[in-house]
Amino acid sequence: MKVIKISKILSKDLVLRDSANKLFQIIEQSPEKLVKIDFSGVSSMTMSFAHEYLSLIKKMSTEKSIVESNVPINIKKLFEIVKIPISRPKLVNFGLIQPIPI
């Protein structure tokens, strides 16, 4: 099992989508099938990073497995928020529009 301490490899503040991409490049290049991502030392994360991280986990090869450890409560809550689908209100309901003869 490969252990990746994310605060040492990237930063204690996870901000950019590109950083998540860099993390997954490291994971994909690892010969180990099981990868443990250690979040100890991480103090903050943006929604952009969290979204990209979760998207890349879904797209990842089935040959690799990821285990997360030491995930701070604020990061866990952010992951939960990002997993909720966004519902956008419709601005125009075309079903209610009726043609007007001119």
> Which distant-in-sequence residues (6+ apart) come within 8 Å of 7 by Cβ?
39, 40, 41, 42
pTM of this structure: 0.78
pLDDT of residue 6: 95
Q: What is the structure's pLDDT at 4?
A: 94
pLDDT digits (tens, 9 = 90+) for 72-85: 999 999 999 999 88
Counting as low any pLDDT under 50, the low residues of the chain are none
DSSP H or E stretch at residue 83: helix 73-83
* Domain edges within the chain: 2-84
